[in-house]
Amino acid sequence: MTLRSFWVGAAVAIVSACGGQTVAPAQNTAQAEAPPPIPEGAETVAFERVADAVPEAEKASTQTVTEATQYWGVKDGDPLPIMWEDLMPEGSEEALMKEYEEFYAMLEKRYAANAKSLVDADPYAKIEEGSEFDYMPQLGGFETVEDLDGVLIRMPGYVVPFDFSTDSKHREFLFVPYMGACIHTPPPPPNQIVFVRADPAIKIADIWAPYWIEGTLMTEKTENELGDTAYALTMSKIEDYTTP
């Protein structure tokens, strides 16, 4: 399983398990700032790049950012196109998959041990909000690809604002690989979330739509309630996602 297909599957499982609803806001949170529900029928886009059709032997030659830039045909001053798997250093993808497998195996055992019927034991049954199963930690680590530090990049993903008011403009927000991440649980690992800074602040018309984002990427650790991050980006451009 590739990281791309894993994120798409994770998004589907999360929406199914949560019954398509977002996590309830705290009682003192204004209704205007509550996360809106995922639109019925909405699906996470499986982001792909044209270069995926290039033979693996040719891909293997792109070991550094300089080589990758030449490989992609990127001109000086143009952003380097990357995908989410490019943010994970060698070996961390396999370690993450194993960590998720172990966590889900533990969760299934807890379901079975507390189930009163075979239906209740179904790990994909709707999770009751506020129950002991209504949680999932942020797995994964802060390992980064140092060669990408300070590089102008372009990548697709989804916006997660800190303020869900429809009138808000955002100077800071998270950028994630699949729809509903961080609003539903679990958040992706820190090296699969980018903390974005925008100047001037921007208004996001639809947080359930995918976007292309461009800017200077940095290896920078941030911590917040929605999800800790291993990367930050100073945004220069954001636009609706279209297939390359």
| Whether pLDDT at 44 is above 60 | yes
pTM of the model: 0.74
- 109-118, 127-136, 149-158, 202-211, range with greatest mean pLDDT: 149-158
3-class DSSP string for the chain: CCHHHHHHHHHHHHHHHCCCCCCCCCCCCCHHHCCCCCCCCCCCCCCCCHHHHCCHHHHCCCCCHHHHHHHHCCCCCCCEECCHHHHCCCCHHHHHHHHHHHHHHHHHHHHHHHCCCCCCCCCCCCCCCCCCCCCCCCCCCCCCCHHHCCEEEEEEEEEEECCCCCCCCEEEEEEECCCCECCECCCCCHHHCEEEEEEEEECCCCCCCEEEEEEEEEEEEECCCCCCEEEEEEEEEEEECCCC
Q: If you average pLDDT over residues 220-234, what whole number do you get?
A: 95
CA dist., res. 202 & res. 225, Å (int): 22
Most confident of 14-23, 45-54, 145-154, 177-186: 145-154
Percent of the chain clearing pLDDT 90 (strictly above): 40
Band the pLDDT of 23: cuts 50, 70, 90: very low
- The confidence band for 65, taking pLDDT boundaries of 50, 70 and 90, is low
26 or 162, greater pLDDT: 162
pLDDT at 213: 97
pLDDT band, residue 209 (cuts 50/70/90): very high
Q: CB–CB of 234/216 below 8 Å?
A: yes
Question: What pLDDT score does 21 carry?
Answer: 37
What's the confidence (pLDDT) of residue 57? 43
pLDDT tens digits for range 80-117: 999 999 999 988 888 888 988 888 888 778 777 776 65
Give the chain's domains with CATH numbers: 3-240 (2.40.50.870)
Q: Is the pLDDT of residue 78 over 80?
A: yes
> pLDDT band for position 36 (50/70/90)?
confident
70 band by pLDDT with thresholds 50, 70 and 90: very low
Mean pLDDT, the chain, rounded, equals 77
